[in-house]
Amino acid sequence: MDQLSAGVPGVMLMLAGTPEVFSGRRGLTELPPLAGRLDDPTLNTAHPNLRGPQLPLPRFGEPELVQVMEHLRHLWQAAVGEDTRVNAGFGPYLAQGWTAQLGDASPRVAIREYLSVLDRARDYPDFNAYAHYQFSPPADLRPEETLGAAAEEDTF
């Protein structure tokens, strides 16, 4: 963490998780040095620090998810130093599919899946995002992350 804060070229770190990951009994609180670095007392205020170690991720639907995926595509390409083989239309396709399955309750799933697709397309020349990707909700979804449920905000 200290090296990352000093700015390691080409390295980006993003942890995504439910509130329990960051503040639950079996989450990062089990590792006090790491929990201390990721703690942000402004997180649950009306004006959280948008440059802090954690960012509240509000619920959002397909249009916002498409925008996030476009930004992720650019960040991913900058981080690896090459263009992705994944068609630019795959982000909206993925956003539509996950929104249809989960609504606006869990954008973290779609974000994690999109990054996974970009990585696999880079690592496997025969990987075709449209042909090989399957929408399979993770087994660890909380009840409030399913379609139509009232969920808490995710945190990044």
pLDDT, tens only, 77-120? 998 889 999 999 999 999 999 888 888 877 878 888 999 999 99
With b meaning 16 or more CB within 10 Å and e meaning fewer, what string describes 13-42?
Answer: eeeeebbebbbeeeebbeeeeeeeebebee
In percent, how much of the chain has pLDDT > 90? 32
Tens digit of each residue's pLDDT (9 = 90 or more) over 53-76: 777 767 788 999 999 999 999 999
Confidence class of residue 13 from pLDDT cuts 50, 70 and 90? low
Q: Where are the alpha helices (DSSP H) in the chain?
A: 2-6, 19-23, 32-38, 62-80, 90-102, 107-123, 129-132
Task: Show me where the domains of the chain are located.
Answer: 1-57, 62-152
pTM more than 0.85: no
- Round to whole Å and give the CA distance between 30 and 20: 12
- Specify the higher pLDDT residue, 87 or 156: 87
Confidence class of residue 3 from pLDDT cuts 50, 70 and 90? low
